[in-house]
Amino acid sequence: MQSAISPIISPSGLISVKDSTETIIIDARVGANAKEKYATSHLAGAHFVDLNTDMADIKVQPSDGGRHPLPDPRHFSEVLQKLGITQNSHVIIYDDKNGSNAAARFWWMLRAAGIKNAQVLDGGFAAAVKAGFPVSNDKEVPTAQSSYKISNWLLPLADIHEVEETVKNETAIVIDVRSKERFDGETEPFDRIAGHIPGAVNIPFETNLDEQGNFLPPAELSKKYAEVLNGKDREHIIIHCGSGVTACHTILALDHAGIEIPKLYVGSWSEWCNNNKPMATKTKDN
């Protein structure tokens, strides 16, 4: 499912469409004080979405779908309706980590819900402010609720069992977008066990960005990933991270490069390492 428009928008592009009746701006910043940051200062007109309640259905144990499992599509329908998002909406999402927090996750969910005109703001909140986009501390109210409903996710997903089989296939590839230190098992700030899925390859999401922290041009991303995916079966390309959030940053980059959107393993390392699956580090396979 290719984008109707580029999945990335520049701050100047955002400014040019901010007054359109179809434009809906989403603040997807995360963290313990994300709501407070939003209440204090957000891009004028932006509506806040919460990673834990709007974009996930968190279980008691991460072994059950990871740290940020997808919610039921019917629940996400309610989120879309509350925000006034329809199939005709032009949704622009930002966070303060250039998509790697939750903006790319919300973009993925919109695309998987059939919303084709969804974009992530290149450079995020800071870049928009620098470009002169007005900020506000107003309580934003959607112009109207929508009746948009979805019953299933339209983008490809992989579960833990498919990942376990895929890593054994030489024509398939499982890409882990976490940092090299986490992949190698040298550190793990979020999950109880450090390491990676045996057979996975590490391409940190930061390599999708240039030195200024902006997304690389499509041609550069295309060349980079064409080399990685050469000879691989496009039906068996799986992207994952720690909890299925940052993986969407690389899926976004692939779409930006004009490459078909691959499968997302939402459970990611947080599910895998809590289910007694084989694990590997830089020096050890289990």
Catalytic residues: 241
Which residues neighbour 170 within 8 Å (Cβ) at sequence distance 6 or greater?
none
β-bridge pairing 237-240 and 173-176: parallel
Kindly tell me the burial class for residue 81, based on how many C-beta atoms sit within 10 Å of its own C-beta (0-12, 13-18, 19 or more).
middle
Task: Kindly state the tokens that stand for 236.
Answer: 């068996």
Are the C-beta atoms of 129 and 64 separated by less than 8 Å?
Answer: no
Which residue stretches of the chain are H helix? 11-17, 34-40, 51-54, 73-83, 103-112, 124-130, 160-166, 180-183, 218-229, 247-256, 268-272
Q: For residue 250, which of 211, 203, 285 has the smallest C-alpha distance?
A: 203
Look at residues 264, 209, 252, 262 and name the one whose alpha carbon lies nearest to residue 3: 252
Which phi and psi (to 5°) does residue 224 adopt?
-60, -50
Burial 134-172 (b: 16+ CB within 10 A, else e): eeeeeebeeeeebebebeebebbebebebbbebbeeeeb
In terms of Cβ atoms closer than 10 Å to its own Cβ (0-12, 13-18, 19+), residue 212 is exposed
